[in-house]
Structure 1
Amino acid sequence: MFSISSYQINAQDIKGSWKGTLNVQGTELPILFHISEKEGVYTTTMDSPSQGATDIPMDKTTYQDGALTITLAQAGIKYVATLKEDKITGTFYQSGYEFPLIMKLEKKE
C-alpha cells in the first residue's frame, strides 16, 4: 500500500506556470513561478509583476516526492512547499522574513 501512495505523489506534475500572492505588511504582491523540466532537471523563472520584474532565473529547483524547493541565493529567496492536487502550499523566505504562499496552476507546460 505504501508504494502505491508514493507512486501517486511522484506522478504529480509540477511543470507549468504557478501564481500566488504574497501579503507583505498589508501589500499584496503577485508572484509567478514558471517551472520546466528537461531530462529530469527542473528549472524555474520568477515574475513579480507589481515590481516590474519578469523572467528572473532561479538558482536551483528541486522536486521529489511532492516536495518543492526553489532558491535564488543572490536575493536571499527560498520557497519550500508541497504539491497536493492542484495547488502548491508552502513558505516563501526572503532575507530573514517568511511568508505563507499558496500557488495555483495558471498554465500547464
Structure 2
Amino acid sequence: MTERLPPDPAGIEEAARLLRAGRLVALPTETVYGLAADATEARAVAAIYAAKRRPRFNPLIAHLPEPDAALALGIADARARALAATLWPGPLTLVLPAAPDCPVVPLARAGLVT
C-alpha cells in the first residue's frame, strides 16, 4: 500500500516510525528521490533490492543524520575527516572501509568491505 505523508513534523515522524518498523519510505535527497530503509535490518535492505530489482552486487548508499554518525560506520583517515568537516552538510559521498563493528548488513554493502 502506498501512503503519501505530509512534509511536516508529523509526516516526518511517521516516516521515521515506518523505517524503525522495517518498512520502506520514498524520500527526497540532495539530487533525486530515493527509497530508504533501515540499513541495519536485513529484511528491509532485501526489500529495497526486490522493489528496485537491483542487482545484489550493487551496494546501497547510507544517508546519515550527522558527520559523527557517518564517520562511526567507517574507518576515516584525516583526509576524509577534513572533507566531511568542510563539505557536510552537502552533497559529499565518502566511500570508506567499514568499521569492524559496523552494523550495516552485508547485503547493503554488496559483500564489499566498504
TM-score normalised according to structure 1 size:
0.24
The structure where helix makes up a greater share of residues is 2
TM-score by length of 2: 0.23
- Larger of the two Rg values belongs to structure: 2
> If each structure's strand is expressed as a fraction of its own residues, which one has the higher value?
1
